[in-house]
Amino acid sequence: MKRIGIFCLILLFCLAFSVGCKKETTVEKQDYFFSHQSVRVTTDDAAKPLLDALGTPTERIVRPSCLFGNANDVLYVYQGLEIETYTKDGIEYLYNIELVDDTADWKTPEGIGVGDARGAVVKAYGEPDSVSQNGTAVYNGKDMTLNFFYTGDTVTRIAYRKNV
Per CB under 8 A, residues contacting other proteins are 1-2, 4-5, 7-9, 11-12, 15-16, 19-20, 23, 25, 59, 61-64, 66-68, 73, 75, 77, 82, 84, 96, 98, 132-134, 136, 138, 145, 147, 149, 157, 159, 161
Exposed (0-12), middle (13-18) or buried (19+): which is 102, by Cβ within 10 Å? middle
3-state helix, strand, coil in the chain (%, to 5): 20, 35, 40
Q: Which is nearer to other proteins, 15 or 91 (CB)?
A: 15
- Tell how far CA 97 is from the center of its chain: 9
Smallest separation, CB 79 to other proteins (Å)? 15
Helix ranges (H only) for 23-164 are: 48-54, 118-125
Q: Which is nearer to other proteins, 38 or 62 (CB)?
A: 62
Q: Which is nearer to other proteins, 37 or 64 (CB)?
A: 64
